[in-house]
């Protein structure tokens, strides 16, 4: 597949030699909502760079619960993927598309090679680590310093911002999983938020007011 249109997206971000290699070896993908890109225990053979759409990165526990770590949006990459491929470690995260998403994947052997070869790639990797570190700090702050109703509203606002829509198509069960709580608790909190005019509820749909 001709990736010249993908190459154009990175002009001004990556240098010419890197753009040429990206066009030659990158693998373009179009994924539907809910597609699982990465599972815990698997070995990472490619690193994704999101072109459009969004991916949620979750940390599951042994009991099947999942805590939301962060989202990846346009021109974002996953720090966990970069770290695991550089250290040849198994994945410890679950990556799932939040909506229809397009991305380009890079073979893992190129990640380390490009770190030495291209300054713009090294900068991109460092910025990716910085952004994800800030995301994780925000996640810790949410858990440590905010009540569950505040965390729920903040999560809905992040989803709204990510999708660029005030209407969020999601079930109470999925929200409960991302907040590491029960569906009943989320349903009760959503009803409270509706009473004070923060949201409007309908079947599998939440509208931010």
CA-CA distances (angstroms) from residue 130 to 51, 76, 140, 166?
Answer: 19, 12, 15, 28
Q: Tell me the pLDDT band of 182, cut-offs 50, 70 and 90.
A: confident
Calculate the average pLDDT of the chain: 87
Do the domains 4-144 and 147-208 sit in the same CATH topology, yes or no? no
Q: What is the pLDDT of residue 128?
A: 92
> pLDDT digit string (tens) for 121-165?
999 999 999 988 888 888 787 777 778 888 899 889 988 888 888
Give the distance from CA 80 to its chain's centroid: 11
CATH for 4-144, among 1.10.645.10, 3.40.190.10, 2.60.120.10, 3.30.230.10? 2.60.120.10
Q: What is the pLDDT of residue 123?
A: 94
- d(Cα 203, Cα 172) in Å, to the nearest integer? 10
pTM: 0.74
Q: Are 155 and 98 in contact (CB under 8 A)?
A: no
- d(Cα 52, Cα 98) in Å, to the nearest integer? 11
Closest residue by Cα to residue 158 from 185, 179, 130, 188: 179
For the chain, which residues make up each domain, given as ranges?
4-144, 147-208
16 Cβ contact partners less than 8 Å away, ≥ 6 residues apart: none
Lowest mean pLDDT segment, chosen from 1-5, 24-28, 47-51 = 1-5
> pLDDT digit string (tens) for 78-122?
888 887 777 777 888 899 998 899 999 999 889 889 999 999 999
CATH of region 147-208 = 1.10.10.10
Q: What is the pLDDT of residue 159?
A: 87
Q: What is the pLDDT of residue 1?
A: 60
Is the confidence at residue 76, as pLDDT, over 80?
yes
């Amino acid at each position: 597949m001709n990736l010249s249109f993908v190459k154009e997206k990175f002009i001004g971000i990556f240098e010419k030699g890197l753009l040429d290699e990206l066009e030659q070896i990158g693998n373009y993908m179009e994924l539907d909502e809910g597609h699982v890109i990465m599972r815990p225990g698997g070995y990472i053979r490619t690193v994704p760079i999101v072109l459009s759409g969004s991916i949620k990165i979750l940390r599951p526990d042994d009991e099947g619960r999942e805590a939301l770590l962060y989202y990846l949006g346009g021109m974002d990459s996953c720090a966990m993927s970069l770290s695991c491929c550089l250290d040849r470690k198994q994945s410890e995260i679950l990556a799932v598309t939040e909506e229809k998403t397009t991305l380009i994947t890079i073979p893992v052997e190129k990640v380390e090679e490009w770190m030495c070869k291209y300054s713009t790639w090294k900068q991109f990797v460092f910025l990716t680590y910085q952004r994800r570190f800030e995301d994780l700090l925000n996640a810790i702050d949410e858990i440590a310093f905010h009540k569950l109703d505040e965390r729920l509203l903040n999560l809905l606002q992040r989803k709204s911002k990510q999708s660029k829509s005030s209407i969020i198509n999601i079930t109470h069960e999925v929200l409960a999983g991302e907040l590491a709580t029960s569906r009943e608790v989320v349903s009760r909190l959503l009803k409270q938020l509706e009473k004070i005019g923060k949201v409007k509820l309908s079947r599998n749909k939440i509208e931010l007011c």
